Amino acid sequence: MASDPAGRSSTGVIEQRSLESPLLALRREVIGVDERVPVLEGGLRPYVNFDNAASTPALRPVLSAVEEFLRWYANVHRGTGYKSLLSSRVFEEARDRVAGFVGADPGDVVLFTKNTTESINHLARRLAFGPDDVVVTTVMEHHSNELPWRRVARVVHVGLTPEGRVDASALERAFVENHGRVRLLAISGASNVTGYVNPVHDFARLAHAAGARIFVDAAQLAAHRPIDMRPASAADHIDFLAFSAHKMYAPFGVGVLVGPRRDFEQGDPDLVGGGTVDIVTLENAYWTDLPDREEAGTPNIVGVVALGRAVGVLESVGWEAIERHEAELTARALERLSAIPGVALYGDADPGRAPGRLGVIPFNVRGLSHALVAAILSYEWAIGTRSGCFCAHPYVKEILHVGAEDAEKLEREILARDRSHVPGAVRASFGIYNTAEEVDRLAEAVAAIAAGRFAGGYELDRERGEWTRPGFPFEFEKRFTL
Ligand SMILES: Cc1ncc(COP(=O)(O)O)c(C=O)c1O
């Protein structure tokens, strides 16, 4: 079948010639990957999902596991019926699989939560910080790895290099300046803004040498890089780790928190209630053993099964294939986007260094708001991206070089419900199933937008900071309703 330079065949379907098996086989297993969505000029186009850093789509093997399991589903723990016993066994099997997936120490416990954010809040409340205790974190963090620590400890922020990476010498200084007081270094494994991967094992070594421990927010890492927490005896091991299943092809509402059992055996559980106790009298409660004592109430059993299967799929595809493919997409995107006049890329935009980062690419088009560019990509090109500050305001402000005066002005505007000048970028983020042809479509779209070739008539909702196009034929009810 003939195709144009963007890889569109005469039927308008993007060919997937760039994918090698097993990734091509896997693309066919991505639920909804062939869905077509309306575009402004009329008709439907195949949807390109470049918002994988927010959430990845579900994989068919994951959905199949859920469907198969539901025939055997029952509440876990202490049920005596066959289905409850089976469900309990599968639930614990998933826990073991997750422990293996991250190379947890045998002394660690894997706890299931709702998402990374809940895992970090849980950990922050459980670590029992004293009034002088310091948590060192960085300017790079997602708000979920920033705000929970502010509630429980004094937070010291490590700054960035001019390229926007964590400044390792500033990190060393933070340990020296707060000697004896740093309990924890809380740092992301990879940035959801620039895709930078942090050398967490080097940082773990520094933290341990300073008498602190390290928590790694692996929300962005989990679906893109192998994770190895390493044995607790190793100087560079990771003490605590969190991630979310919805960013690794299992969007059924589960998060993970891993850490040493002893930290969760001390003190009272975070949430209390059913499942957390051995004995309750009208005066006392005696907490039960881990993991139950930290997983109050009925857990998300189906979500955990989905995660267990997703882990199996990622492992069978293999990290080498995943990393190679995503690096190729990233290099291609950096190369093509940087060649477009008027496009600014943030962070390290060298395609040659793509293997050292994740496929998360922030960019802007000169003279146009990031929110408008993202809207045009969606309405006119059927490309799903995300724009704004990506729940990382301090980091985005730094990489966009927003000065103190502008930042103050913006704060006033936002508090007055005007988000029309909020700085930010458009973010394209890749998953294992995306193709070079899809990257080319993004580049073609961005080139057209930068050259001023897009429809007029977009309107800004100042309060939300979002652009819409009146008259766009959403027709959501044609696609899905409850
Ligand atoms: C680096 C990072 N940390 C934490 C989170 C929060 O994850 P969740 O929304 O699953 O709690 C995200 C989500 O985008 C993230 O990218």
Q: Say if CB 385 and CB 377 are below 8 A apart.
A: yes
Preceding amide of 162 cis, omega within 30? no
Per-residue confidence band for 5, with pLDDT thresholds at 50, 70 and 90: very low
What distance in Å separates the CA atoms of residue 427 and residue 359, rounded to the nearest whole number?
A: 10
What mean pLDDT is predicted for residues 178-191?
98
Residue 113 CB–ligand 1 contact under 6 Å: no
CA of 40 to the centre of ligand 1 (A): 32
SS3 content of the chain, % helix, strand, coil (to 5): 35, 20, 45
Residue holding tokens 């929110």? Answer: 371
CA 330 vs. chain centroid, Å, equals 17
Tell me, yes or no, if 391 is annotated catalytic.
yes
What distance in Å separates the CA atoms of residue 179 and residue 172, rounded to the nearest whole number?
A: 11
- Please, which residues bridge with residue 361 across strands? 428
Q: In this model, does residue 8 exceed pLDDT 90?
A: no
Of 391, 399, 436, 447, the catalytic one is 391
What distance in Å separates the CA atoms of residue 336 and residue 331, rounded to the nearest whole number?
A: 9
What is residue 59's DSSP assignment? B
Token pair in block for residue 451:
């050259």
In three-state secondary structure terms, 388 is strand
Rg over alpha carbons for the chain, rounded to the nearest Å, is 23
pLDDT of residue 481: 96
CA of 98 to the centre of ligand 1 (A): 18
Residue 56 CB–ligand 1 contact under 6 Å: no
Ligand 1 pocket test, pick from 140, 142, 188 with the greatest ligand atom count within 8 Å of Cβ, gives 142
* 350-393 per-position pLDDT tens digit: 999 999 999 999 999 999 999 999 999 999 999 999 999 899 99
In the chain, pLDDT over 70 holds for what percent of residues?
A: 96
* 31-48 per-position pLDDT tens digit: 999 999 999 999 999 999
Q: In this model, does residue 298 exceed pLDDT 50?
A: yes
